[in-house]
Structure 1
Amino acid sequence: MEVLNQLVAGGQFRVIKEPLGFLKLLEWLFSIFAFATCGSYSGSFGLSVECATRNESDLNIAVDFGYPFRLHQVYFLAPTCQGTERGHQEKVFLVGDYSSAAEFFVTVAVFAFLYALGALGVYLFLDSKYRENNKGPVIDLVATGVLAFLWLVSSCAWAKALADIKEATAPAGVLAELPGCRRPGARCRGLRSPVTSGLNTSVVFGFLNLVLWTGNLWFVFKETGWGGPWGRGPPAGAPEKPAAPEGGYGQPEGGYGQPGGYQPDYGQGGYGPPEGGYGQAAPTSFANQM
């Protein structure tokens, strides 16, 4: 508890308030929801097959299935309705193997969960190492881009697989394939359909993760500094700016009025005030000449 108080007091958790850390926290939470709603699913549906001979009928057939949705391995016993007193049952298998799409989706969600958790730890406790030599932001950018692409592929594949799973486990479709339901006098009906709201939620979280990881690319890219003008050096071979001459721009060495510089000469033969300056009396006044 003391360590947590010190971290809060020291501002270590300020990164959670910034877009980079806040989005990473959402990615961590949504990844949990994605693989939990898909990987923990188990469902069932019910059938009723009533044959012309009552002893053969089975009015409550329960079919259970779940993750990873290898439906071709799921079977149940159904009456054949052949008209015998003892009755006869046969194994009926469901159709389809959707384990590849389901396992791929869960695997991406687990890797995203682990990476988001690790990135949060780096942001909080190893921020200086993260920014050292700009390696951390570059690695983060590449990993975020790869996971965003994987979320796109896995979410689309899982959404298509879920649509096929719903069709393969629909009671009406399963009953249509039963040989006993095609016998004269047989009556078949579905008792209950599988509840797939949890699987629908997993697809929603898959595409939400896609939006989060894709949007977070911009904030991770900003951490690299590649987008700013300061991140680019001068072009190769550019001429250097000429240095200003010593003593100021356009001034000769020494400057005006300094030794070695330009000085006006009011001496002999030059233009300028006569010796003694303007406004002073001449040696012989004008009155004496008169």
Structure 2
Amino acid sequence: MSSFQLNLNPLKEPLGFIKVLEWIASIFAFATCGGFKGRTEIQVSCPSKGVHDNKTITATFGYPFRLNQASFQAPSGVNVCEVEWKRHVLIGDYSSSAQFYVTFAVFVFLYCMATLLLYLGYTNLYRDSRKLPMADFVVTLIATFLWLVSTSAWAKALTDIKIATGHNIIQELGSCNQIVLCYFGSVTSMGSLNVSVIFGFLNMILWAGNAWFVYKETSLHSPSTTSASRGQGGSPPPSGM
């Protein structure tokens, strides 16, 4: 195996430059999703008990978005309107889609680092080998497909999360009736989660585009050594009769 020799020339080529973009995009993908924390609020009053002041009831949620474990909390732990709000939770469990998306993005981040090390430190080894470019090409195709699958699943889950933490929570809370009046208050902006979906599809586009440049390094595109040698000094043409 050849020794490590730093060569920055691949960064000037699409093969290395796009890999850097993929590395950066994967960071934004898992950071914008995995670091999210939010809450949804409802306003509660008890007109039947002569209490018309609204009290704020809050449910905190975040990654990995197991909403069915996010219970409502009353101010200072008081049972507002004689309702034990801790027993009420949000609806839905979207952890599978969120964790699949984030975990895959982290694996892509690590793979990009390893590939850049190979490109920049073992350039000759990569280009003289038949197996390494082919393996890189196969992984690139698989990654493109998984970016599509994981991002689509996460986008659908995000839509359901917005519904589950929005105005519809009033209909799901059994305590909200004529005795206890509930009004939807607010929910944390999910702009960063929208960005995570955008970066998911951006990663898919980057990996799909990079597949061509990785393909050019494989033996499927480049002529084999045997074919090249035959072209340079092949057998002489048959002599005439």
* TM-score class normalised by the smaller sequence: 0.7 to 0.9
Tell me the residue number matched to 2:213: 219
C-alpha distance after superposition, 1:86-122 (max 9, x if no partner): x343421111110000000001100111111111111
Contact residue 141 and residue 220 of structure 1 kept, 8 A: yes
Work out the CA distance in 2 between the residues paired with 1:188 and 1:45: 13
Work out the CA distance in 2 between the residues paired with 1:165 and 1:180: 22
1:219: Cα distance to partner? 0.4
Match for residue 135 of structure 1 among 128, 131, 137: 131
Amino acid aligned to 2:25: F
Mean CA deviation greater in 143-152 or 154-163: 143-152
TM-score when normalising by structure 2? 0.85
Amino acid aligned to 2:238: A
- Please identify which structure carries the higher helix content: 2
Q: How does 1:252-267 map to 2 (within 5 A)?
A: none
Amino acid aligned to 2:177: R
Q: How does 1:36-115 map to 2 (within 5 A)?
A: 36-52=31-47, 53-54=49-50, 59-77=55-73, 81=81, 87-90=82-85, 91-115=87-111
Work out the CA distance in 2 between the residues paired with 1:67 and 1:26: 25
Tell me the residue number matched to 1:199: 193
Tell me the residue number matched to 1:176: 171
Contact residue 38 and residue 187 of structure 2 kept, 8 A: no
1:129: Cα distance to partner? 1.2
Higher relative contact order (CA 8 A, sep 6+): 2
Identical aligned pairs, as a percentage?
46
Work out the CA distance in 2 between the residues paired with 1:197 and 1:231: 53
The structure number with the bigger radius of gyration is 1
TM-score when normalising by structure 1? 0.71
Tell me the residue number matched to 1:158: 154
Contact residue 170 and residue 182 of structure 2 kept, 8 A: yes
Work out the CA distance in 2 between the residues paired with 1:93 and 1:231: 66
Work out the CA distance in 1 between the residues paired with 2:22 and 2:170: 42
Q: In structure 1, the residue corresponding to 2:129 is in which secondary structure?
A: helix
1:63: Cα distance to partner? 1.3
Runs of 4+ in 1 over 6 A off after TM superposition: none
Work out the CA distance in 1 between the residues paired with 2:8 and 2:152: 35
Amino acid aligned to 1:173: N
Q: How many residues align?
A: 225
Q: In structure 1, the residue corresponding to 2:8 is in which secondary structure?
A: helix
Contact residue 37 and residue 199 of structure 1 kept, 8 A: yes
CA RMSD of aligned residues (A): 2.5
Unaligned 5+ segments in structure 1 are 1-5, 82-86, 235-239, 251-290
Q: In structure 2, the residue corresponding to 1:220 is in which secondary structure?
A: helix
Alignment pair present for 1:20 and 2:20: no
Contact residue 80 and residue 180 of structure 1 kept, 8 A: no
Aligned in 2, Cα 1:202/1:232: closer, same or farther, shift over 3 Å? farther
Aligned in 2, Cα 1:30/1:89: closer, same or farther, shift over 3 Å? same
Contact residue 56 and residue 88 of structure 1 kept, 8 A: no
1:225: Cα distance to partner? 3.7
C-alpha distance after superposition, 1:43-93 (max 9, x if no partner): 012111111124597611121100000111111157685xxxxx3434211
Tell me the residue number matched to 2:29: 34
1:232: Cα distance to partner? 8.4
